[in-house]
Amino acid sequence: MSRSGFGQRVQVMHEILLGMGQINMLTDPELEAALDALMVDGRTREEAVRDAVLRAHRAMMIVEQARADAERLASDPDDAAEMLAIQRFMGVAE
């Protein structure tokens, strides 16, 4: 099944909390090229998609944790004073 501008339908199995689920998606040429690149090492389409989704999730969690840490540090006067002392020591603040 294809629609204009889209390639073949891809079915990907993924684990969910209480069993197995299925993801259906339409691919376009850009996604097909990315999948091909991810499969160069012999992985299946399903393995490539699963790995990409898990990597994207991990990256998102790292960004969210960094944002939360930055907000926490910015609101702590002791940490702000320590950061200013370090910046002064390095000569990047007065």
Residue 1 falls inside a structural domain: no
Residue 4 falls inside a structural domain: no
The pLDDT value given to residue 20: 66
| DSSP bridge partners of 65 | none
Q: Which domain holds residue 34?
A: 9-90
User: Does pTM surpass 0.85?
Assistant: no
Alpha carbons 91 and 94: distance in angstroms, whole number: 7
The pLDDT value given to residue 93: 84
pLDDT digits (tens, 9 = 90+) for 43-94: 999 999 999 999 999 999 999 999 999 998 889 999 889 989 999 999 998 8
Number of domains in the chain: 1
The model's confidence at residue 18, banded by pLDDT at 50, 70 and 90, is: low
Confidence check: pLDDT of 36 > 50: yes
